[in-house]
A and B are shown apart, each in its own frame.
Chain A
């Protein structure tokens, strides 16, 4: 690990000053991803600004029926929160299907949004990786590509976004609140993460001087919601495919649908095409399959991840079938 300076911020303004003063600084929340990456010499901040004492760990019920989740709320507290469990069970399920109890006790909501990919080549400093070393190439494309994305990949990068929580947030139209010395802005979660394009090293729209302060959830969609994850073992593994879905069926017809995918996209993947296909369609297995296929029509596979396309289709169908 390289040497770095450590600063502890006592309030949001101090945190923002610290990050503005120091161009190569990183905020430290739970540290479950950042510290790992520093040990691997992939993240190389000169300064680490500890924000764990900022008062941003509350869940606040909003007048419109939504909730505002502080960015420093620990994942385990998020999953256990009664309001989240009752109104947004998909969020609790997503969080609980990720990582381990120990990691969830440390990891924060804001950190989850900033989580970096588990691409095997991103972690291998002897391999070409445009995300780690812009312009060096992508060893995954042409290499061992089983874990990689079938949606949203570019010629520069096919790394998947690793988060479970973000998939649920994408489905729920979550809004990310960002603060800087210039003020506060609100960005839809689905626009927070960027497609890799030619610049896979730029993963979010977060500016260098901005801090994630909260995630807001609008009132929950009607009907039932669920998060399901397919992975290589029963626990402690990243998703091969995951599905966050909220479905309402009236008179046998889909009246409301939210669908997002994990494990298959370069970012948390809101399945708008499938939603369009489903809305107003009969709630049947045929509709579910047609919608899944519509979403996956543009999927592009690499030599080892072709199975994900069919697995994503099967998982979408299985989840929707189970909810209807």
Chain B
């Protein structure tokens, strides 16, 4: 990793520490490790009530009647509310307003909220919810995306039918032919974000008739925009403050308990806290879209791609959530980071009675990458070259054109990323004196090396960074500089959500670098400042980072005005708490210049605009920035017992600028682990549109024994369009780790493995 060079030489002042490019300790780190961090589930108010949700056990049913009488009859119960009690619009949604706050006459997925209860004890509330009598007419669920759209006699789950969005991408010659053709159908199971902090928050009724909501979420203002109409309140009477977030990964982008808690609080005029149980959490948030993808790649005899054709079906479940954008991502990024002259990709997002699917780290790019990378390996085999070589021959680069017609106008080091992971030294071969925990089967004493075959596989992926397709994607920052206790202190206030990725730390780093002050305080994120947009799409360092930088620049400019007035020089800088001049050196302490004045500015930051894609051809400059990562996976497979041990993951990623190198490494490790989970174990098991494994005992995520050591190369090829040249980090490593691991298992077993997660029975057969 390159080192950041800072300030002038020699320094005029004692430089501040913990600026951009450094890795200061995060303020929440020690608290979290010690179990002292206050999560949203720890909220407490005197006199509060507990809210509980009654959910339907049926994936699809008509509601004939709901009787809350038995719940209200229980002592300690303050409210039992149904759709009739929703004060305003009984509907919300991120892209389509299609999901009821509480079900009216139909439920469309198992776990849909039907009624809510508040009581003076959580157990009382649970019993009251269980006492509510709902009479259902159970219907046969629609549980397949393709059937939902194209099947005959399939019930329409929503008024407009079962198609959420169709996205075609037509580029070049649709009838192109090629000498070498490979095809395959690939499937991705439903992955869960598996955050550890369940959905939770507390709503407090306010004297002005409004409500204050403290909640773990990903995007305060989009919550506010959806909650206010449901409560029939103006937006400024729904004030939201971020509570401690225990992970998100996309699962908190949609509403969960927000409106329910507010309804109960306004109804009872008491604070109401809601905390989902782990099981309930599986029904309380959207998941990653399961996908079925049919691919055909055509190439010349040298392996240069001639065309890619694909049809991809993504199961959006019962409500749209962000399915439309996920389908667009899968389709627009559907050929991967490769130059392809002729493309025909069609993506469909469907309504079914499966659990709703929406945002999850990688957002459509994950599913497509598993398919196109599997195809690239198949093509390499057909041509007779190695998997790295086929990728190098087709690698996208700066100046390439995407199948949407969009020019790739900043660094796209696909070739270099591949070469870097290829050239990493291989992990040592197994020896007989190996710790069995490092063998397939882990701590289970399953093998001591017999029947174990090693495999190596590669994957490289592409992800759009920031919101796409013309969305007005911005963030707002308020920065205040004043003297506190004789020292200049910067205060940064945004509505940007810290989900554990380190944004609070980064905002302080930016303020330190921009204002040359050591002390920075970060205000709690709330809706009293303008929107920061979502903590998703790998966008917060870029967009909120840009807003903080821009607000700092406005503050600095005002300080310079003061300094110019006083010292009559204009070659000014802020360094180490001093106002300095390039020509005259240190002019004064910043605190002197500020006096008792507070300099404060609020700025919005927008990245360059993106544009909608043509609905018939998929052409358009839909994306803002592309991120790339490549992985090499080395696996040991016990071919007799179907067990996989990922021995090592090597990753190379371009991050434009490592704003906080430790956080970058953390994102790459965490993203790679989440990709490993999808490759070999993580799946919400559905049967009859019902979730069969809603617990962390039955929904398996990787443990530290499943996660191998990583070698990581971080490239810093600046994007001139982005603040500090940075490129969003969070999602790309999730995308390419999955296909690399599956490719390595294929290399060891010679099996086709067209579905993820790969389980023991897929390796052993039946």
Contact = CB atoms under 8 A, between A and B. Distances in A.
User: Does B associate with A?
Assistant: yes
A303 B450 CA distance: 30
Given A120-B692, A120-B698, A234 B443 contact: yes
Given A120-B692, A240-B760, A311-B760, A234 B645 contact: yes
26 contacts: A97-B443, A120-B685, A120-B692, A124-B692, A144-B686, A144-B692, A230-B446, A232-B700, A233-B680, A233-B681, A233-B702, A233-B706, A234-B444, A234-B703, A234-B705, A235-B442, A235-B444, A306-B766, A307-B760, A307-B761, A310-B766, A311-B760, A311-B761, A314-B640, A318-B446, A318-B450
Contacts of A237: 700
A309 B447 CA distance: 19
Interface string A102-129: 0000000000000000101101101000
A1 B123 contact: yes
A214 to B, nearest CB: 27
B57 A126 contact: yes
B765 interface: yes
Contacts of B641: 230, 311, 314-315, 318
A234 B442 contact: yes
Contacts of A223: none
Contacts of A252: none
B94 to A, nearest CB: 29
Contact of A230 (B437, B642, B681, B705): B642
Contacts of B692: 120-121, 124, 143-144
Contacts of B698: 118, 120
Interface string A290-308: 0000000000000000110
Query: Which A-B residue pairs are the 5 nearest by beta carbons?
Result: A234-B442, A307-B761, A126-B57, A234-B705, A144-B687
B441 A234 contact: yes
A288 interface: no
Interface residues of A, number: 37
A235 B438 CA distance: 11
Given A124-B692, A307-B761, A318-B641, 13 more contacts: A120-B685, A229-B444, A230-B760, A235-B442, A235-B705, A306-B766, A307-B642, A310-B766, A311-B641, A311-B764, A322-B447, A322-B448, A322-B450
A96 interface: yes
Interface in A55-108: 93, 96-97
B276 to A, nearest CB: 14
Interface of B: 57, 123, 437, 441-448, 450-451, 640-643, 645, 680-681, 685-688, 690, 692-693, 695, 697-698, 700, 702-703, 705-706, 759-761, 764-766
Main secondary structure of the interface of A (DSSP, over half): loop
B646 to A, nearest CB: 10
Nearest to B687: A144
Q: Which of B442, B445, B645 has its CB near the most chain A CB atoms (within 10 A)?
A: B445
Contacts of B442: 233-235
A266 B766 CA distance: 20
Contacts of A121: 692
Contacts of B706: 233-235
Nearest to B762: A307
Contacts of B686: 144
Contact of B447 (A231, A317, A318): A318
Interface in A222-246: 226-237, 240
Contacts of A233: 442, 680-681, 700, 702-703, 705-706
Q: Which of A143, A146, A232 has its CB near the most chain B CB atoms (within 10 A)?
A: A232
Contacts of A307: 642, 760-761, 764-766
Interface of A: 1, 93, 96-97, 118, 120-121, 123-124, 126, 143-144, 146, 226-237, 240, 306-307, 309-311, 314-315, 317-318, 321-322
A236 B444 contact: no
Q: Which of B437, B451, B645, B761 has its CB near the most chain A CB atoms (within 10 A)?
A: B761
B63 to A, nearest CB: 16
B640 A229 contact: no
A144 to B, nearest CB: 4
A55 B441 CA distance: 37
A143 B445 contact: no
B615 to A, nearest CB: 38
A301 B38 CA distance: 48
B643 to A, nearest CB: 7
Q: Which of B450, B640, B692 has its CB near the most chain A CB atoms (within 10 A)?
A: B692
A234 B640 contact: no
Nearest to B686: A144
A123 B691 CA distance: 12
A310 B681 contact: no
A143 B692 CA distance: 9
Given A118-B697, A143-B688, A311-B642, A93 B445 contact: yes
Contacts of B700: 232-233, 236-237
A299 to B, nearest CB: 12
A317 B447 CA distance: 12
A230 B759 CA distance: 11
Contact of B444 (A120, A144, A228): A228
Nearest to A229: B444
Nearest to A93: B445
A38 to B, nearest CB: 12
Contacts of B441: 228-231, 234
Contacts of B443: 96-97, 234-235
A232 B645 contact: no
A185 to B, nearest CB: 34
Given A120-B698, A144-B687, A321-B450, A232 B444 contact: no
A315 B764 CA distance: 11
Nearest to B446: A228
A317 B640 CA distance: 10
A158 B111 CA distance: 26
Contact of B446 (A126, A229, A321): A229
A321 B641 CA distance: 14
Contacts of A310: 764-766
Contact of A318 (B123, B437, B451, B687): B451
B206 to A, nearest CB: 34
B445 A228 contact: yes
A71 to B, nearest CB: 25
A308 to B, nearest CB: 8
A310 to B, nearest CB: 6
A78 B700 CA distance: 27
A309 B766 CA distance: 8
